[in-house]
Structure 1
Amino acid sequence: MFERPLTRSEVELIVRAQAFVRQKHARTEQHDFAHVMSVVRYALQIARAIPDEVDPFVLVCGALFHDIGWIGTVTGVVHGLRGATVVREYLSAAGVRADIIDRIVQVVVRHTVSSGLAPERPEEKVVHDADGLDALGLIGMLRGLIGKEGSIEEVIRGDIQLGVKTFERLYYPESRRLGEALQRETEEVIARFRAALDRRLRQIDELPLPVANTIEG
């Protein structure tokens, strides 16, 4: 649940931040602005349903900026830590209190396992779960395939394993409730991918070469 309503000045800053994030994510693929807004929507939905008190400004800003560290990088390695620098500078310039900035920065840092720091506060766990939910289902799996290197078999198998782990790592029962249908869709897609991969491998091993029954010397 939300511990308080947003103030007018907070809403105005969120609107400006949203425009900033939209512009920065305009040319990204896997982590585009549509993904960012999907995470914001999931985060709001989860926060309304859980008993933990959530600060709405910290939550929305954390969700908006959660993938800003992907900008300017291909691999996204430690993008949570990279994004923390951008977030701190932006919010400091906007006049946000230092203690609030610290909390938003922690949301950005801790939403991803690549930072090596698990979520602790409710806002951190909610954004972590919201990000995970958008990785599930058909759209989530397709997003996960964009920009990956390696053979199609390697990429798909890696995405399959990641999808299963993503659902298992969700913190809140509400997140799991929202993710159940997406997880079923993910499992159906996984089964079809696996069947297609198996057929592909069999076809490679069983080439229908045009040879005679008896090979003459």
Structure 2
Amino acid sequence: MDIVLETMEFVKRKLSGEESGHDWWHIDRVYSNCLQIMNETNEVLNKEVVELASLLHDIADWKFNNGDETVGPRVARKWLESQQAEEEVIDHVCQIIKDLSFKGAGTKSPMKSLEGQIVQDADRLDAIGAIGIARAFAYGGYKGQELFNPAIEPKLHETAEQYKSQRTTTINHFFEKLLLLKDRMNTPAAIKIANERHQYMINFLDNFLRENNGEGSVHYKILSSYKEKS
């Protein structure tokens, strides 16, 4: 039995057709990102842990479970135990899933292993660039968020609780999370990819705000600071 292939089929059954941008194809891209990053990493690592964590990282996301961050690791553990995975592998995968997610601008999410850093980078790469833009609007629509409201200013949340609970707009999500991810990548391979995708988002937001006559908005002022750095 190939536990990675079995896990692929399990996750595909579970997440196919999901509507918020956290579907099987998101998982498939994150998995592919992991393979690419590992291929450019010379350090010794546990490839199986990376593959399993990338496949299971959204199996029960807190965003769809009333903010409960313990559900994902629990579901992953139950699945891996059913596949007779080694306890050391199970613990490592579950720790990665527990630590993975973005928790607000003022809250760091450090990974405890190189394997975790790779999975975190791979997941965050799928949140930026053209795909990230598409996923942001898919999730915003799924949650019933406003597309853009110039009267609602972006907030750099200091705690995970603030980040989870405060209602936002899809455009604000770029300023509250997506534009911050480039500087939070862990691996050289991911940093290289992130730089290009980050610039793509800046260009998109510049056009979006101009089309909304938003050059004088606080959003555009914040964006201008990013443009100066790029």
TM-score bucket of the superposed structures, by smaller chain:
0.7 to 0.9
**Alignment CA distance shift 1:175-1:66 (3 Å):** same
Equivalent residue, structure 1, for 2:155: none
Following TM superposition, by how much is the alpha carbon of 1:69 offset from its aligned partner in structure 2, in angstroms? 1.3
Cα separation, 1, equivalents of 2:18 and 2:182: 25
Deviates more, 1:90-99 or 1:146-155: 146-155
Following TM superposition, by how much is the alpha carbon of 1:77 offset from its aligned partner in structure 2, in angstroms? 2.8
Equivalent residue, structure 2, for 1:156: 170
Structure 1 residue runs of 5 or longer lacking an equivalent are: 1-8, 203-217
**Alignment CA distance shift 1:196-1:75 (3 Å):** farther
What secondary structure sits across from 1:109 in the alignment?
helix
Equivalent residue, structure 2, for 1:88: 77
Following TM superposition, by how much is the alpha carbon of 1:196 offset from its aligned partner in structure 2, in angstroms? 2.3
Following TM superposition, by how much is the alpha carbon of 1:76 offset from its aligned partner in structure 2, in angstroms? 6.7
Cα separation, 1, equivalents of 2:115 and 2:66: 22
**Equivalent residue in structure 2 for 1:132, among 119, 124, 129:** 124
Structure 2 residue runs of 5 or longer lacking an equivalent are: 150-168, 218-230
**Alignment CA distance shift 1:145-1:78 (3 Å):** farther
Cα separation, 1, equivalents of 2:123 and 2:55: 11
**Alignment CA distance shift 1:67-1:127 (3 Å):** same
Following TM superposition, by how much is the alpha carbon of 1:44 offset from its aligned partner in structure 2, in angstroms? 1.1
Cα separation, 1, equivalents of 2:208 and 2:65: 24
**Equivalent residue in structure 1 for 2:95, among 106, 110, 120:** 106
Q: How many residues of Structure 1 are paired with residues of Structure 2 in the alignment?
A: 190
Does the aligned pair in 2 maintain the 1:77–1:114 contact within 8 Å?
A: no
What secondary structure sits across from 1:198 in the alignment?
coil
Equivalent residue, structure 2, for 1:119: 111
Cα separation, 1, equivalents of 2:16 and 2:73: 20
What secondary structure sits across from 1:68 in the alignment?
coil
Cα separation, 2, equivalents of 1:77 and 1:177: 32
Equivalent residue, structure 2, for 1:179: 194
What secondary structure sits across from 1:112 in the alignment?
coil
Equivalent residue, structure 2, for 1:212: none
Equivalent residue, structure 1, for 2:25: 34
The TM-score with structure 2 as length reference comes to 0.75
1:166 partnered with 2:181: yes
1:15 partnered with 2:5: yes
**Alignment CA distance shift 1:137-1:63 (3 Å):** same
Which entry has the higher C-alpha Rg, 1 or 2?
A: 1
Q: How does 1:193-212 map to 2 (within 5 A)?
A: 193-198=208-213
Deviations 1:8-48 (A, max 9, x none): x5xx1111110110011013121011100100010111112
Runs (4+) of structure 1 moved beyond 4 Å? 199-202
The TM-score with structure 1 as length reference comes to 0.79
